[in-house]
Structure 1
């Protein structure tokens, strides 16, 4: 059965301007009551058993995909829209062959997305920056069971931290959370039988199959394959007497990287190409000629260039975050009343729908001591430092959530180093404590910010927020159970990280900040110190130019994040990112409707197909079913 037509998410945005005339006073005085009376759909199916199961399965798949992507690129990609399209296609197929009788409803899909996003975001929040960084710094990690418990508890605290933040930022202030709004639009289009939107499911499936086939053809090295696709093709020129490919300047035959590039702006794409050319075409060859870099290999070049790239990323991230000072000020101003009771608690219109305010402190009272105990037992963090991490994580959650709601960008690059700096001062000289205390603080705060994007789509669609809360806890369990064994499979030792296979740039930056806090810049070669200083100045300059340059000049100012990332990852990856961004931009300019219908699902399909096949091939090799 088709669902009745419903207003678009923009129309559902409750504000005095968008409310009907007779409801404007009510919306202005109490937007929550207006939402309850005009938007909430309490009678529809939402958190069903099949939605939970589908969310845990699809969320686990998205978590695997994101793990592969973040080790490749340093970026953790959004998962909710892709998960909702996959669920819609899967349930449609099952109903088509007669295995299901009832439609998979819009709100069921939204609940499924809550489960899937909590699982998929297990790689975010600094988790897959901190743990690989710890492995690089110490060479060891705690046993897998303990790591699963660590991820689950930290992420669950993020779910509890989101309770009061959601009510303030989504219900009352109604921050836009653009990705959450886009998810609501996608769900309405899919379940409203919009043929163009339904076609996205087909595009995603076809692209996923192509991505998987290319990855298998390239990586399997099976004896029955007449010819294996090469991983890279060197560009046709030499630098310093060596082929361009030796300097990582090659075409990477990876649809995953092209797909990821299509999801970033063209500005970020050409900035990455520029960074790759500057670093691997000019700076690295000069450093090799001078003997500063001992050999022509990615790992040797990266050991030197890391400090320049990290400085660009950290300085630009911190300054961009500082320019959000109004959001930060509002966050601190709201903290005093955020967790207090409503003036008329007994008249709370959403008392039976929202999570009770008491769940927030109860969650921290139950799970907080577990986090402190795990920090002490697994990472030798003093108990008092673990206790400090708990309130600090809430502050970080409030700040990160507001920035995410206003800009659609979770400030991981800024808040990660900030928390490391805090613990660098509290626990000087303790590498493990610096990394994992910061992981606890940032993990809780940033995870809550990511999950609020999902709660925004539920608010627009009229979903039950209490059911979304439980859905996210189911997702946390699924994600934690999957991410640790998958990480151990892909990264059996620290030697795998920082290579062309898995550059892990975000982990390199995290580890670099910890080393700097412990040893100071004096441990670096003088040229690396100059590079770090130049990177710092460049990151600040690019942010200032982006903010203050004339409007017509801004398209020609490089993206600081794109430029910094290109210095840290292989040049071949940056070239692929640029190609993806250029193709997507060409389609948007020449074939806007085709671009709208294909760019997101095809890119997501390439990423999911290749990453999952990459993990499958790694499993087959680990079990001796395929040559290594």
Structure 2
């Protein structure tokens, strides 16, 4: 599932800005000028250092680290958080420090930072596009996964296909139509600020590092089981009881987790209070009612979640599909663009093309799919027993999804993976009924292609504004794909050693629960669901539709009081304590934005990112130490 927060987003994510001027970053451009020719003469920085060896290495390392952070976060909360802006701040700080120590001769340029960000974003987003929803869902539903080496190849191939899928639509969406791609625009502005005002960058990097250390220290005090260390409790219960049991038994407690507070600060306040409302109604009223009726057998998170997942999934899927349907104009434009994907320019047109030697050649798109497509089809058949014809069908469908995801992301800054995933599941549920691997992993293929196509175009928007070479950014993304795939699989296996870890209070994995629920429903039918769960799903689906309609049609003065469908639905499938922490983070950030907007602009993103990175990375380190027997469990 994906949600674009106002400061930094899940699946691609970043700052949600107002649509920019079509020629943002191109001073003096007029509407009558050829935008490509103007860019070539006035913006393009062809002679500058861009995709250097150090930019690739830094991007792969930072991207791999942030991929692990995102893995931990998505298993905890279901959100994929933004990567590129944080990576650019980190890289600037690291290279600036090395330069001040005279370990480097040359400055780290803005375009090097942009290329590094392309590498890092491709690696960091390896958890998105359904990857860390589909694979855990397959583990839950079948009890087994293919060997790690094969999964690394699967992730790399699917993600690389997404990179190739972006090639034929880049010039139309970015150069000609000048879609805003708000995260890409924000990244370009961040890079300009970093390399134009060193003091601002140094303050942000110090804040990020300090917050990271605080987050890591909290995890050490909470989770490290050393004999010499007195641990603080994981959580503190709210001061009331429900049906004679402490509020914490119903997951209504305060978690000692700065990660969740930091993540909350990066979403909108509307999302935060919607999650609090959803948690109160779910765990304070609905769950106790179902326990009283015997529909939920015991007061544990797993038992409650087993029933609630149908209601929460219905809210998320119905709201996602309807919101996506309201973007039909973007979808229609996407299909119109598909007609030109395979068109070939005449030799005269190619000779007259001023960007022919700079943009990725159109031939790279069919060539990439000709090479990687058969590999993906083979992997589907060999690893997941998906019929070869279903694998063949998935390839053109993935291209369609990639084009749609890219345009919607360009116009709205939200990649609609939570809508496109269920759509593909429904398609393959009808084509191969009862085949759970085909249902889950075919959707993973299309979602992965869509996400990485949109991610590359978001990065290419940054490059367009900064005057970067798009071919070098394309290559940068392929380096990042390799780095992300190589690290995400082995660490996932350490964090999730068995299927029963998923859906637990430690790793609620709400995105996984939604994917697994949809696949199970398509495989077994509605009749396999308990009657009360059917009513819960019906009510949840209806609520999701109503919230989207209210969000769209309510008077402007009332729209701010309509709960966010994504936030409300997510609160139903994660522990109430997580929603409470999200709310606290969003409330603190909102107060800062209203009372001290300049301070909030400078501190919210780096401090929140530091909390998330520090806690998640040390949390992974402690989990690995326990798994290998270095630390007591």
Fold equivalence (TM over 0.5): yes
Indicate the residue corresponding to 1:161 in structure 2. Answer: 165
Stretches of structure 2 that go unaligned for 5 or more consecutive residues are 1-16
Matches within 5 A, 1:477-492: 477-492=482-497
| Counterpart mapping for 1:325-340 below 5 A | 325-340=328-343
**Which residue of structure 2 lines up, in the alignment, with residue 427 of structure 1?**
432
Q: List aligned pairs for 1:284-295, cutoff 5 A.
A: 284-295=287-298
Q: Is the CA contact (8 Å cut-off) linking 1:16 and 1:25 kept in structure 2?
A: no
- The Cα offsets for residues 380-427 of structure 1, whole Å up to 9 and x where unpaired, read as 011111011111101001111111111111101100100100100111
Measure how far apart 1:342 and its partner are.
4.2
Change in 2 beyond 3 A, CA 1:453/1:78: same
- Contact residue 220 and residue 617 of structure 1 kept, 8 A: yes
1:532 equivalent in alignment to 2:533: no
1:39-84 per-residue CA deviation (whole Å, 9 max, x = no partner) reads 1001110000000000000000010000000000111111000000
Which of 75, 81, 86 is the equivalent residue of 1:77? 81
| 1:257 has 2:257 as partner | no
CA distance in 1, matches of 2:31, 2:267: 38
Conserved? CA contact 2:110–2:192, under 8 Å:
yes
Aligned-residue CA RMSD in angstroms?
1.6
After superposition, the C-alpha distances for 1:198-230 in whole angstroms (9 at most, x for unaligned) are 3111111111111111111111121111x2121
- Distance, in Å, in 1 between the alignment partners of 2:188 and 2:53 is 22
**What secondary structure sits across from 2:339 in the alignment?**
helix
1:549-577 per-residue CA deviation (whole Å, 9 max, x = no partner) reads 10001111111110000000000000000
**Pairing 1:390-405 to 2, within 5 Å after superposition:** 390-405=395-410
Name the structure 2 match of 1:126. 130
Shift of 1:339: 3.7
Q: Which residue of 2 aligns with 1:6?
A: none
> Which residue pairs with 1:626 in the alignment?
631
Of 351, 355, 363 in structure 1, the residue corresponding to residue 360 of structure 2 is 355
In structure 1, C-alpha distance between the alignment counterparts of 2:318 and 2:454, rounded to whole Å: 22
2:226 & 2:270 partners in 1: Cα distance?
39
Q: Who is 1:217 aligned against?
A: 221
CA distance in 2, matches of 1:255, 1:541: 33
Aligned to 1:20: 28
Query: How far apart, CA to CA, are the structure 2 residues paired with 1:425 and 1:448?
Result: 26
Q: CA deviation at 1:433?
A: 1.0
Match of 1:246 among 219, 244, 249: 249
1:446 is aligned, of 441, 451, 462, to 451
Aligned CA distance change for structure 1 residues 241 and 567 (closer, same or farther; 3 Å): same
- Residue 58 of structure 1 aligns with which residue? 62
Query: Shift of residue 19 of structure 1?
Result: 5.6
Q: Is the 8 A contact 2:312 2:540 kept in 1?
A: yes
CA distance in 2, matches of 1:182, 1:566: 29
Residue in 2 that maps onto 1:597: 602
Distance change (3 Å), C-alpha of 1:58 and 1:48: same
Deviation, 1:195, is 2.5
Secondary structure of the residue aligned to 1:593 is helix
Residues 605 and 285 from structure 1, CA distance in 2 versus in 1: closer, same or farther, beyond 3 angstroms?
same
Matched residue of 2:254: which SS? strand
Higher deviation after alignment, 235-244 or 96-105: 96-105
User: 2:152 aligned to 129, 148, 154, which one?
Assistant: 148
The partner residue of 2:281 within 253, 278, 282 is 278
Could you state the TM-score of these two structures normalised by the residue count of structure 1? 0.96
| CA shift for structure 1 position 289 | 1.2
Instruction: Give 2:562's aligned residue.
Output: 557
Partner of 1:584: 589
TM-fit CA distance, 1:454: 1.2
Name the counterpart of 1:509. 514
Equivalence for 1:464: 469
Q: CA deviation at 1:435?
A: 0.4
Residue of structure 1 equivalent to 2:3: none
